[in-house]
Amino acid sequence: MIDTDPGVDDFLAIALALNSPEIHIEAFTTTGGNAALRHTNSNMLRILEALNATRIPVYRGAQRPLVGKFGDAEDIHGTGGLPIRLPAPKLRPRSEPAVRYLVQRLKDGPPVTLVALGPPTNIARLFRDHPETRASVERLVIMGGALDVPGNVTPYAEFNVWSDPEATELVFGSGVPVTMVGSDVCNLVRVYDETTPDAVNPSIRRLTEAQYAARPGRRITLYDPLTVMSVIRPDLVTLEKLPISVDVSDGPERGRTTQKVNGNVIDVATGVDVGAALDLFIERTINGRFNS
């Protein structure tokens, strides 16, 4: 199950996941993050239509963080969360809210892996309000945090964690096996316009062209795609068990993830096979045809 806030790199990660036979995606849940929920939820539906994957259900999730005000990243991803316009979706989300769906699914079905590509608010609400569901989560893989490097939204914090530090601290301490794929490792995996072929899928081609034009060096950093790749091909990333604490203060370091003796011990990505990751991304996302 993929929890997401599309988002340019979310779009690319979703395409990668859909084109990966190693995993079976049961559902997508949406959250506010890169843009407000009304946009990210609509983007999710548009993406599935663009990739011919309308069979997978979408459940609408959290509009705002557990604490504080909502803040988007439209300055990076474009107005509404994407730098291109996709047709208005015919697909509709399921009427059941995301957390309610997750509660029932985790109660009735076999254990699952949760992948959080946006602020982990939905998952924090799930674990907080329905702690019995934790036993049915095999692993939670989160794109978020910045280990021993500056953040990408403040000098200290990475965007997803900064968006909801309280939710992140809650899920890190939930007792569920957690893997953190932080921006420090993701920053090593970038595609460049001049060295990457044009995408086969028309929507992905338009998306990457627009993002190359908007970013310095005509590059795209594969934050969410690398997180999905770490599930598809665990050998691509090096993991270390580290005690991680999230700053939930109201000070300038809010949202910072740091190693502390009393932090929650989780798996943290500390290295990546860059060449293999880029090859997999190009094979599954750039060269993917998404015909059915």
The pLDDT assigned to 109 comes to 87
Contact 215, 26 (CB under 8 A): no
Q: How many whole angstroms separate alpha carbon 248 and alpha carbon 236?
A: 31
Nearest to 11 by CA among 61, 93, 80, 90: 80
**3-state DSSP percent of the chain in helix, strand and coil, to 5:** 40, 20, 40
Cis before 7 (ω within 30): yes
What stretches of the chain adopt beta strand conformation (E)?
2-4, 28-30, 58-60, 112-116, 137-143, 178-181, 190-192, 219-221, 237-246, 257-259, 264-272
The pLDDT assigned to 292 comes to 57
Q: How many whole angstroms separate alpha carbon 109 and alpha carbon 113?
A: 12
Between 75 and 169, residue with greater pLDDT: 169
The pLDDT assigned to 34 comes to 87
Structure tokens at 78: 């474009």
On the question of pLDDT at 73 being above 90, the answer is no
Nearest to 204 by CA among 2, 66, 69, 11: 11
pLDDT digits (tens, 9 = 90+) for 188-236: 999 999 999 999 999 999 999 999 999 889 999 999 999 999 999 999 9
Contact 124, 171 (CB under 8 A): yes
pLDDT digits (tens, 9 = 90+) for 119-148: 999 999 999 999 999 999 999 999 999 998
Nearest to 177 by CA among 138, 226, 222: 138
Q: How many whole angstroms separate alpha carbon 82 and alpha carbon 52?
A: 18
The pLDDT assigned to 43 comes to 97
Contact 183, 158 (CB under 8 A): yes
The pLDDT of 147-165, averaged and rounded, is 94
Return mean pLDDT, the chain: 95
The pLDDT assigned to 260 comes to 95
List the domain boundaries for the chain.
2-286
Span 2-286 CATH architecture: Alpha-Beta Complex (3.90)
